[in-house]
Amino acid sequence: MATPTLDETTLIGRYGPHLQYEPPGGWKEQPDATLVKTHCCFCGVQCGIQLKVHDNKVVGFEPWEEFPVNRGMLCPKGVKRYLQNEHPDRLLSPMVRTHHGFREATWDEALDRTVTAIRKIQSRYGRDAFAMLGGASMTNEKAYLIGKFARIALRTANLDYNGRLCMVSAGAANKMAFGVDRAANPWSDIPMSKAIIIAGANIGECFPILTDYVWRARDNGAKIIVIDPRMTPIARTADLFLPVRPGRDSALANGILHVMLKRGWIDNTFIESHTHGFEEMEKLVERYTPQRTEAITGVPASSIIRAAEIWGPAETSMLLHARGVEHHSKGVENVLSYINLVLATGRIGKPGSGYGTITGQGNGQGGREHGQRCNQLPGARDIENPEHRHFIADFWRIAESELPRSGLSSCEIFDAIEAGKIRGLLTISFNPLVSIPDANRTRAALEKLEFFGCIDFFLSETGRHADVVLAGSLQEEDEGTVTTGEGRCVRLQQSVTPPGNARVDWKILTDLAERLGCKDYFPYAIANDIFRELAASSKGGSADYSGMTYEKIEKNMGVFWPCPSYNHPGTPRLFEHGRFHHPDGKARFHAYDYRPPAEDVDQEYPLIFTTGRVVSQYLSGTQTRRIGPLVDQYPEPLCELHPLLAARLGVADGDMVRVQTRRGFIEVPAQIVRTIRPDTVFVPYHWPGRKSANLLTNRALDPISKIPEYKVCACRVERVAW
Amino acid sequence: MIHLEFVDRSMSTQTSPVVCMHCEDPACARVCPADAIKQDEDGIVHSSLKPRCIGCSNCVLACPFGVPHYVAQIDQMMKCDMCFDRTSIGKKPMCATVCPSQALYYGRAEDIGRMRVEEPTRQFQFGNQAIRTKVRLMSAPATEQLDFDILSFMPESEEQIPDITELAIWGN
């Protein structure tokens, strides 16, 4: 049973999080330090950065002003990211759990134990009883390798990744609307837009350098519309702010489109020649009058009309959204409803006009293309498509019948552990105890596992439950590529080698594969061997990297896929001349009637609970909760509530409040702000244990994308008595 | 040495970065009893010189922009020197290089004048004291109104807010 054998205080004492404030050797200048041009590890923008390296240690950074995307700009996470290296909490050796915590082990022992457990569980309960979970902060090379490892070495269908908690609703919707899953435009199109909708995207905190793109557009005369239940930094100076009630996005998009249709702000020629499904959509949005939309969404009818007036007749336009519209049990419906606004105007595939979901994780885009997902094969192929299955089976030199079929998604894997159907688990760079909704259930599930193996660089809260911990690599300790939120594949350089006995992640996987008797399928000496195979495997797939090489990526500071041949320059902008990626070349409208969130407010739980990020933290905080200056910037989760609500509840700023849902409660200080809807409270999700927002959230899944509903559930709030 | 604070987080997400404005006639240097703060020929007002600074904090009190910081651990005042180590070799200051919104910009006034709709200002009036600075502040063009409370953006007749908060009390 995968249960920690030490109390939390002792575990924190040994493995952290401890706070690192200074680089190795202190602040003294290292004149012979070298600069390595690579990328930040936090978020899908993947800012270029130069890490300062001395004596095989990262000692600082320099901005990389020549990299065209961020031109030297960074957010606090990027500025302080160098402090994660040479960290006192770094795992330096494999470990196995004993009755008194962990003891160091040799690689042979740790790998043998892992393989013995895999074999035992699979022979007793079947191959699919052993699951694997990957991460979307890792390189394309690792994403590809994990997919291949799970299908060939583990031969399990149950492989998924933590991008399932991030942008899969957008991915699924992109495929349904456009036939391909990628942002349609490079970010360099944003400053050319005259109308920009930013829906559920806290750009100032989650993708900070994109603020500069939006503000350049504004300087060029663009009107900015921000849709969010909170007045985030980007909303503060927007031309129009629509404070949507959480969980009502599809209704709001329908309402805006209703006004556009009434006023004739649509491109009939484009709709006729390049789309399907308009009539059904038109019939649906007929019912979304401004008044009715106001009643559903909590956005004034006048603002809905104003949004249509800005968006409808604009010369160029860009729709940007992120998790705020995607983290819903109807996330796909929300995204598709917003995409209708783009298709109706025909403003896509042109300079300054288009659409993009902003990916949240370091390799949120690439991590979802190369077969690390339960329903996908390399090249963003579909695991249930017979043609795709045959192509990849042949490429891997296995029989198509040997290739596992579609498996369970991340949250479903935990449900299956709970139900006793999955008995063993291997994770890599995934901290589900902090990141999956309904954390009490996640913990209980971990404790039911017969074997839990964990590949990571720090001992995460989830890792404390592991039977075997395999010390892997930080981003700067390996090399490879990642694909940014605009579809640009960029190159990560190895700055330093893994410390102590730690190994690069992909080597750990090939070591395991060898012990599982599959050595011949994993003949890699360097990361580039994996990349070359990945690129070749993607040929003819939707995400085609086959014309990319490391040299070409470096020389061009990134290459946009599809890039189907060596002479091909890559494709920064998709859908030029109205050509979409469905077989018939046409895009699809989708008509979705609004439906309420899985758990709506009622008398018992009358307030809406929602979650998100702060600028100084990243995901489950495994890295950023160990970086001193970032922790100081926002040390612990606070519960944002409006003064009107606070007064009703008798809560003053800084009072401890208990936030309770049907799944659990947390107690955190109140932060009283006029920037949040009075019917909604917000707590950021980066923290574990008794302050974890995901003790409260609802594990209701979108039926298509299987994303959980982080952004809306019902809660009640009360002041904690002294 | 740059300070970044929320102006009033309870009201708004507005933050205010404070860099040294590098006054033409710097009050901090004028009031320093130890002559520890030097202004160079380019008009950059430097941080205190370690051998001279006596840690008295006169400069901290005198600066109309609230820039100098007394750092107790080293018993010395520290302030922005426009990253002299970087600007002296042709680089931009770190803050303006990394600023993700380019709210902090380093370059020629003519260039930013072309790029932005805001107007640069370098003349400030503090009571009777007029101050001219090397650093310019960009101020927004005529804005009719800035609303800070989310209620201003919600339907006037939104009955549901009081209803829901009433319910919150019943819920407890």
Q: Is the per-residue pLDDT at A323 higher than 80?
A: yes
pLDDT for position A156: 98
- Residues A583 and A78: their CA atoms lie apart, in Å, by 41
Interface A:B, Cβ pairs < 8 A: 130
Long-range contacts: A554-560, Cβ < 8 Å, 24+?
A554/A491, A557/A48, A557/A66, A557/A67, A557/A68, A557/A490, A558/A69, A558/A484, A558/A488, A558/A489, A558/A490, A558/A491, A559/A488, A559/A489, A560/A186, A560/A486, A560/A487, A560/A488, A560/A489
Contact, B18 vs B68, CB < 8 A? no
| pLDDT per residue as tens digits for the range A248-284 | 999 999 999 999 999 999 999 999 999 999 999 999 9
The pairs formed by A544-553 with CB atoms below 8 angstroms and a separation of 24 or more are A544/A379, A545/A140, A545/A379, A545/A489, A548/A481, A548/A489, A550/A481, A550/A491, A553/A481, A553/A489, A553/A490, A553/A491
**Which pLDDT score is estimated for B2?**
83
pLDDT at B158: 58
As a whole number, the mean pLDDT across chain A is 97
Q: For testing the chain B interface, which of A679, A712, A716, A719 should be mutated: the one with the most B CBs within 10 Å?
A: A679
Rounded to 5°, the CA angle A492-A497-A503 comes to: 100
- Distance to chain B for A232, nearest Cα, Å: 7
Helices (H) and strands (E) in chain A, counts: 24, 30
Categorize the per-residue pLDDT at A496 as very low, low, confident or very high, splitting at 50, 70 and 90. Answer: very high
Q: Which of B71, B87, B101 to mutate to test the interface with A (most CBs of A within 10 A)?
A: B101
Parts of chain B with a pLDDT under 50: 159-160, 162, 165, 167-172
Instruction: Report which secondary-structure segment, H or E, holds A557.
Output: none
CB burial of A295-324 (b: ≥16 within 10 Å; e: otherwise) equals ebbbbbbebbbbbbbbbbebebbbbbbbbb
A609 pLDDT higher than 80: yes
Per the CB < 8 A criterion, the answer to whether A78 and A6 are in contact is no
Please tell me what DSSP assigns to residue B93. Answer: P
Query: Which residues of chain A from 658 to 697 reach within 8 Å of chain B, CB to CB?
Result: 671-679
pLDDT band at A548 (very low <50, low <70, confident <90, very high): very high
pLDDT of residue A558: 98
The model's confidence at residue A644, banded by pLDDT at 50, 70 and 90, is very high
CB A127 within 8 A of CB A154: yes
Q: Which residues of A touch B78 (CB under 8 A)?
A: none
The pLDDT of residue B171: 35
CA–CA distance, A374 with A386 (Å, rounded to integer): 16
- Is A716's Cβ below 8 Å from some Cβ in B? yes
CA-derived radius of gyration, chain B: 21
- Do residues A359 and A365 touch, judged by C-beta distance below 8 A? yes
pLDDT, residue B157, reads 65
Q: For A238, which residue in chain B has the nearest alpha carbon?
A: B146
What is the arithmetic mean of pLDDT over A162-180?
A: 96
Long-range interactions of B156-160: CB distance < 8 A, separation 24+: B156/A300, B158/A298, B160/A298, B160/A679
Q: Do B101 and A675 touch (CB under 8 A)?
A: no
- Of residues B148 and A528, the one with the higher pLDDT is A528
Nearest to A63 among B98, B151, B169 (CB): B98
- Is pLDDT of A310 > 60? yes
Calculate mean pLDDT across residues A297-305: 97
Contact A437, A708 (CB under 8 A): yes
A648 touches chain B (CB under 8 A): yes
Rounded to the nearest 10 degrees, the angle between the axes of helix A527-537 and helix A386-395 is: 140
Sign of the CA dihedral with A626 first, then A629, A632, and A634 last = negative
What predicted TM-score, i.e. pTM, was given to this entire model? 0.96
CB atoms near residue A103 (< 10 Å): 10
Q: pLDDT, tens digit, for every residue of A176-224?
A: 999 999 999 999 999 999 999 999 999 999 999 999 999 999 999 999 9
Task: Give the contacts of B98 (CB within 8 A, at least 6 positions apart).
Answer: A63, A72, A73, A74, A78, A79
Hey, of B98, B99, B116, B161, which one would you mutate to test binding to chain A, going by the most A CBs within 10 A of its CB?
A: B98
Q: What is the mean pLDDT of residues A622-631?
A: 98
| Cross-chain residue pair A233–B13, CB shorter than 8 Å | yes
| Subunit contact A298:B166, Cβ cutoff 8 A | no
pLDDT of residue A292: 97
The reported pLDDT for the residue numbered B172 is 32
Q: Quote the ipTM score.
A: 0.91
Evaluate whether A484 touches A361 at the Cβ level (below 8 Å).
Answer: no
Region of residue A369 (left: phi > 0; alpha: psi -120 to 50; beta: else): alpha
Taking the alpha carbons at both ends of chain A, their separation in whole angstroms is 38
∠ at Cα A565 (A564, A566), nearest 5°? 140
pLDDT over 70 percentage in chain A: 100
Residue A316 has pLDDT above 80, yes or no: yes
Q: What are phi and psi of A477, to 5 degrees?
A: -100, 0
